Structure 1
């Protein structure tokens, strides 16, 4: 078979980031080849070439189709025979139906006939035109993997025996696919996003015979961590269950075994939901499979809200809009009712009206929905919030931090954390992230910086006052911490330290196996298990003997182990609405704190009551419930597509000759210094080397780059980031983005991003580059010099980012440690008599040159970059002044251009110092 023909039209297999993309493109190409064969025939030179094309595409698809129930390997093999027999019309019909059904998802809603003799062969293919209400009436579809090394006849019997148990009254529809080995099961669950359950039978083998490299890339993720070669055959089944739970914990597994109950009881079976002992009870297996999927499908609060909206109710409480009455009776706002529809108003009610549940004191469907969310995200408790992660951050800080407690804070974190420190009365130690001056952004806080601050506080005798470490993971720009290692080493210094991970932009990470290892909840669960193990206790004792009498420098260079009695105390706040499906401001707080019940529960409840509205929006709560259902059932699929979309953008910009002239996507090598990249990998994609092993990078490096954050350097266009965003992307092309820096714009793919969206973005960038080419072709010499000067200004003449200077002594406690009382400084500024305004280019500059110590009276937050460069009580340095003067952004929160920068006057500082003493 000639495989060169299709490769000339399509990217090579090595160019594909995922086998899912490869499969979709190969089926589309097969349909085109089959239709060409129908038009031109299979004889002659042209016909032979088309046949060779189709044969090569079938060869590429053959190892892939073994993991999918549709069209099924039996049907796929029949298509190969049809092409071999040159029955072209039948082959073309089948290829067209499969390609169409895969593109539209029609196979999920009905049987798709692949032979022209079927009675309903003329049924329209275009299921994509179905309305949402029609789709909602159908039964959700999924696939079940059966792991067993059997003959073709036995495989057919297994599938038919299980599928024969399906009934018309079942809530879900499913098909089964049989794979022979443990490795094939792992490939299947990582490749086939339709899989919701796995049945592991005793006859399975260990190794896969599938040698397609793009599929075996999935297996490389476990090569170093799991020694599967050492397994005995009797352990293949239990180990398969354990590994499935590690890779995709949301899936249901069922073990069929001939081992005794006593043997099985002592084994780790992961999330195995049922063990069947050497019996072929297919009805019971079928019912368990449906029950397991329904467990994730249930949405207690959304269902309750829907039922409430159907009830006839007389409204006599303080919500005129409830049931839509104030709208339907109006002569002037009927357009609002028409725009939003009836259901949103029928479901509008209050917790005090009865019939539903209270977010502040949940006992019914809200409580159950939060418990489901806790299961879905790996926490011990989960709490819903309807006014964003800003409020979640303040709730956690207020619940855990008392006035005078020391908190280590990522200095360029979201402003809600800084305000949370004010509310709690914390003494703040700001930690420095590594700067990326060239792109006017910060990275993340290195581990040696965190450990250094903790060791300094320990040396000063203040470790008992240190309460919390607060970090942003991942950062807005996509820098991700090695969460597990950070917590391990910090707990080695203070064993009951609390961690707050701001995962506002990282809620989706739980459902990507690569991502999950760097989430707060997953790391907390791993640590809890590890600290209980005898192996860890022994390793800790050995290290303690080795480090006896070690100085701080040695401790900084050593990967420290926490004591076995360390307490795992982890909180994560997530903006569900930012990266998953939820209405605006829908957020969650996830808790994995061993001391929550005994120490924190009451104060957490009080903080939650303080910041949560007594009239929360029920639509937001319902959307959180539904968003949880979605990620438990299809989060893996959507996150995979999200990553694939971003990788497609990276590859396109890296390889397109016109785009490379003006644009560049920043790589890990650009955004993470070499000393924090143990893997040595600089980029996820290289035009010559292809794709890097993402699993290896995420397992080893201190910091990694979230590939779904695509930071595009636009300085080469002569436009600054804000202008490129507003005038070029939004006004001219209708492309919306959130964040810019002086010379970059940030594109974020999400679970709703499609390949069409990516294609449009690339088209727009090509058009912009082409317009620049034409503009420069027609430009005069002086115009070209002006363009080059603008580019140099944006690319080379970038002001350095200032470090945090220090808190003024009036707001610091005694000693050499840097903590400051931000609360006292914040409220001192409430009295205008304590403040003066100084002009940046006049009185402020002159005062600094005279050697005066000037102290900020408020938060100064330029957009971009969007983090405070000054906080209340902070001494203003020359570097900060230089940075502010160099800023060319449209807004600086806290700065009054008409008055200047607000600072404390000398009298206020003297008075504050006296009261402090």
Structure 2
């Protein structure tokens, strides 16, 4: 950050998306300002400006530092006094030490001397640069938030007593942060990612005196949902515990109260770990805090694997690589051993030996690790998978869907779902997402499309055969459903419907309060509670009266309420390796199904055995165990930084005049039609209005856009998305991305994204824009026309996306509903005599336009964008053929360029129809 030493030129608070960013930059600016005062002095015009800047920075930091243990209120007051006394040299030394310790994380490992007279010769190395063994040997650090309206003497008493009970053998070390009110507690846990435990004492008050808008924004969403103002003083403590669990369910809370046990016993205390009465026992409190954190810190399988690797063994089973023997004895593959190191081989063993538990029949550390993952992700059961979410999807579908069951499927979902339907023998009713023709991508399936399909099946008398709704949340491009509304309205039509939410790209969402409300497991738990409430039953009964004999149009326009006896049956599959810490192919299946034990468990076990290797990779399992530990202890912090990084990219592109010439970050308004954005908010950041209220968007809108997915429209550069990705980003600058469309590229921030990575990306885009400017400056008239033609082709003349046409009648059980037997079509194509090939030429188009029915014998998947535009048994429409002919992508999976489009012969279709008849 280039600091302007003038208070009027400092970035304003409104320029920042989060208080965390503001804090980091303000300390950096204060350090540079103090060093400048040391060089230039504080006299004269320049000195006065520097003094004013330092005062402004301290004023901006004062309300923020209340929520952090380091540097702490005492040190912060000391810095103010140094500035008031014009002790600039001491101020510069102290601020530099604080700023460097905050940046490096050194305060987590040791005491930082702040006073100018104290010496500190140790390096302030960044934690990430330390050797792994050095970091592993240190005691993890965290902070404990104490909520109590105490005076300075009482605060000193609390701190001293907690410090006094520390022991050398404690596995962790923590520092207290004391805030006075319930609102301060909520701001503290939403802002300070170091907090792992909260102690709620009886002296707390309700309201915060902190009025800094960037902090108050953390309360906006809660204030809309909770009637905090109506609380009585005796409710403050229990309510604080409940709200803490709602906002940060992974945290431990401890309530100290002077109320009777009878009063407390029946209250909702969230995840309160223990209640202490009257005067707390500080040693007992200390031990409970450590025990609570250790509960999340434990990694049963990873620990067992480490212990196994230390054991001397003789290997007489079927893995020569076990203990690294086949490598250490080799003359030719020593480089592999040197590259990976010894531990990965010491930890290799057969699943039937070593006491490390079996993934297929877990009873020991794997079972314990899966149970801990269920707790972390809010499920009732969690199962680990070592061969990706593609397999997880097939396991769930095979366990729940029987041949002939009808499944409602998002047509542009991952290909594993389509193949899962083939394996299960499902009758598939494909539902179309709304198209984004301009950017050659699909959005998500609107609720009216889902309800319309269900009501049509109900009218045809087929509702009893409808088994599952399968949707992708969030989509590759970042579209997120209102999961609560979808499940409620679908259950109102069929009360035992099963939901499979493909959350392959959404595992991180559990650990952000904003995101969590749109995750499958969170909504399933909330729905379970709501269905038991008397108020819900009354609302449902009233709606039943109002909707008696209602037609489909009325039902479509009404927000339907599920019956009180509806069954909550929800599954989510997550690619842990895609958005959290895990080795490749590490995935999880989360289950929240009220009928799992009675109906599904045995079938699920069989499906799991069908698709899971008998030789699973133990390193993947261990990484899933460790990844769970990480997100329970620091997932909130990492996800918060992930979002901040993405917002920084959005703001940089939106405000940079050169980048605006060639690039555009797609906003919610670009990717979500207005009728699905009830909040009316069109973008996360506007140059004139600043940041939007994300809580409002996520609470109301049918679809929201995941801000960590930054879709950059690149058509203005004259390069298509695939070329821009390969030739520019990857080959020239080493920037890796996953997805492109015809005229866009997708940048995804994740929990490993750094501010330096964001800065590098912006630098690259600016450099590309500058090169385009130079190229056009020197271009001839014809070269300019060529460039403008390429841009026009990418922006204005984009082929429209085709809808799903229909299944051919040979694969349907009636024309009144859309489902089709995809399995029959898939296996019919196994006999080449049933298939023929046609070139994508004008002759084929003429035949289709004349009304001839040609039926696809294969999955046809252009990449990009990667969704199937044809599935086996689907009638080929002129619109689909036009789209295929306009594609200029390098890969079309399922299409043979040398032979053409694979279709069924008329004889095969006729024979199948006669057989079915």
TM class, shorter-chain normalised? over 0.9
User: Could you tell me which residue of structure 2 aligns to residue 737 of structure 1?
Assistant: 737
Contact 1:859/1:870, CA 8 A, preserved across alignment: yes
Query: Hey, what's the Cα distance between the residues in 2 that align with 1:46 and 1:842?
Result: 76
Shift of 1:53: 1.2
User: Could you tell me which residue of structure 1 aligns to residue 503 of structure 2?
Assistant: 503
Matched, 1:826 2:841: no
Question: 1:91-118, CA deviations, whole angstroms, 9 ceiling, x for partnerless residues?
Answer: 1111000000000000001110101333
User: Could you tell me which residue of structure 1 aligns to residue 626 of structure 2?
Assistant: 626
Query: Hey, what's the Cα distance between the residues in 1 that align with 2:565 and 2:851?
Result: 51
Determine helix, strand or coil for the equivalent of 1:417: helix
Shift of 1:155: 1.1
Query: Hey, what's the Cα distance between the residues in 2 that align with 1:321 and 1:337?
Result: 10
Query: Hey, what's the Cα distance between the residues in 2 that align with 1:121 and 1:723?
Result: 52
User: Could you tell me which residue of structure 1 aligns to residue 86 of structure 2?
Assistant: 86
Query: Hey, what's the Cα distance between the residues in 1 that align with 2:630 and 2:344?
Result: 20
Query: Hey, what's the Cα distance between the residues in 2 that align with 1:135 and 1:849?
Result: 68
User: Could you tell me which residue of structure 2 aligns to residue 364 of structure 1?
Assistant: 364
Matched, 1:516 2:516: yes
Residues 102-251 of structure 1 correspond to what in structure 2 (within 5 A)? Answer: 102-118=102-118, 120-128=119-127, 129-251=129-251
Residue ranges of structure 1 left out of the alignment (5+ in a row): none
Contact 1:653/1:664, CA 8 A, preserved across alignment: yes
User: Could you tell me which residue of structure 2 aligns to residue 373 of structure 1?
Assistant: 373
User: Could you tell me which residue of structure 1 aligns to residue 41 of structure 2?
Assistant: 41
User: Could you tell me which residue of structure 1 aligns to residue 98 of structure 2?
Assistant: 98
So what's the TM-score if we normalise by structure 1? 0.99
Query: Hey, what's the Cα distance between the residues in 2 that align with 1:122 and 1:848?
Result: 80
Determine helix, strand or coil for the equivalent of 1:352: coil
Question: 1:611-639, CA deviations, whole angstroms, 9 ceiling, x for partnerless residues?
Answer: 00000000000000000000000000000
Structure 1 residues 774 and 296: CA distance shift in structure 2, 3 A:
same
Shift of 1:121: 2.3
Query: Hey, what's the Cα distance between the residues in 2 that align with 1:88 and 1:800?
Result: 66
User: Could you tell me which residue of structure 2 aligns to residue 774 of structure 1?
Assistant: 774
User: Could you tell me which residue of structure 1 aligns to residue 642 of structure 2?
Assistant: 642
Moved more, 657-666 or 850-859: 850-859
User: Could you tell me which residue of structure 2 aligns to residue 439 of structure 1?
Assistant: 439
Query: Hey, what's the Cα distance between the residues in 1 that align with 2:132 and 2:648?
Result: 29
Query: Hey, what's the Cα distance between the residues in 2 that align with 1:456 and 1:430?
Result: 13
Matched, 1:596 2:596: yes
Contact 2:6/2:50, CA 8 A, preserved across alignment: no
Determine helix, strand or coil for the equivalent of 1:175: strand
Residues 492-891 of structure 1 correspond to what in structure 2 (within 5 A)? Answer: 492-841=492-841, 844-891=844-891
So what's the TM-score if we normalise by structure 2? 0.99
Contact 2:140/2:173, CA 8 A, preserved across alignment: yes
Determine helix, strand or coil for the equivalent of 1:428: strand
Query: Hey, what's the Cα distance between the residues in 2 that align with 1:422 and 1:160?
Result: 66
Question: 1:287-344, CA deviations, whole angstroms, 9 ceiling, x for partnerless residues?
Answer: 0000000000000000000000001111111111111111111111100000000000
Query: Hey, what's the Cα distance between the residues in 1 that align with 2:765 and 2:636?
Result: 30
Shift of 1:4: 9.6
Shift of 1:88: 1.2
Structure 1 residues 8 and 330: CA distance shift in structure 2, 3 A:
farther
Residues 309-458 of structure 1 correspond to what in structure 2 (within 5 A)? Answer: 309-458=309-458
Shift of 1:349: 1.0
Shift of 1:163: 1.9
Moved more, 248-257 or 343-352: 343-352
Shift of 1:350: 1.5
Question: 1:209-260, CA deviations, whole angstroms, 9 ceiling, x for partnerless residues?
Answer: 0000000000101111100111000000000000000000000000000011
Residues 292-307 of structure 1 correspond to what in structure 2 (within 5 A)? Answer: 292-307=292-307
Contact 1:6/1:57, CA 8 A, preserved across alignment: no
The Cα RMSD (Å) is 1.0
Contact 1:115/1:121, CA 8 A, preserved across alignment: no
User: Could you tell me which residue of structure 2 aligns to residue 461 of structure 1?
Assistant: 461
User: Could you tell me which residue of structure 1 aligns to residue 66 of structure 2?
Assistant: 66
Determine helix, strand or coil for the equivalent of 2:591: strand
Query: Hey, what's the Cα distance between the residues in 2 that align with 1:717 and 1:586?
Result: 37
Contact 2:308/2:354, CA 8 A, preserved across alignment: no
Contact 2:103/2:126, CA 8 A, preserved across alignment: no
Query: Hey, what's the Cα distance between the residues in 1 that align with 2:106 and 2:82?
Result: 23
Determine helix, strand or coil for the equivalent of 2:225: coil
Query: Hey, what's the Cα distance between the residues in 2 that align with 1:649 and 1:93?
Result: 33
Query: Hey, what's the Cα distance between the residues in 1 that align with 2:457 and 2:152?
Result: 67
Moved more, 711-720 or 30-39: 30-39
Query: Hey, what's the Cα distance between the residues in 1 that align with 2:859 and 2:467?
Result: 24
Determine helix, strand or coil for the equivalent of 1:898: coil
Determine helix, strand or coil for the equivalent of 2:641: helix
Determine helix, strand or coil for the equivalent of 2:352: helix
Moved more, 848-857 or 22-31: 848-857
Query: Hey, what's the Cα distance between the residues in 2 that align with 1:882 and 1:44?
Result: 73
Shift of 1:47: 1.8
Determine helix, strand or coil for the equivalent of 2:146: strand
Determine helix, strand or coil for the equivalent of 2:657: coil
Determine helix, strand or coil for the equivalent of 1:351: coil
Query: Hey, what's the Cα distance between the residues in 1 that align with 2:392 and 2:323?
Result: 30
Query: Hey, what's the Cα distance between the residues in 1 that align with 2:521 and 2:652?
Result: 35
Q: Which runs of at least 4 in structure 1 moved beyond 6 Å after TM superposition?
A: none
Shift of 1:52: 1.3
Query: Hey, what's the Cα distance between the residues in 2 that align with 1:164 and 1:715?
Result: 64
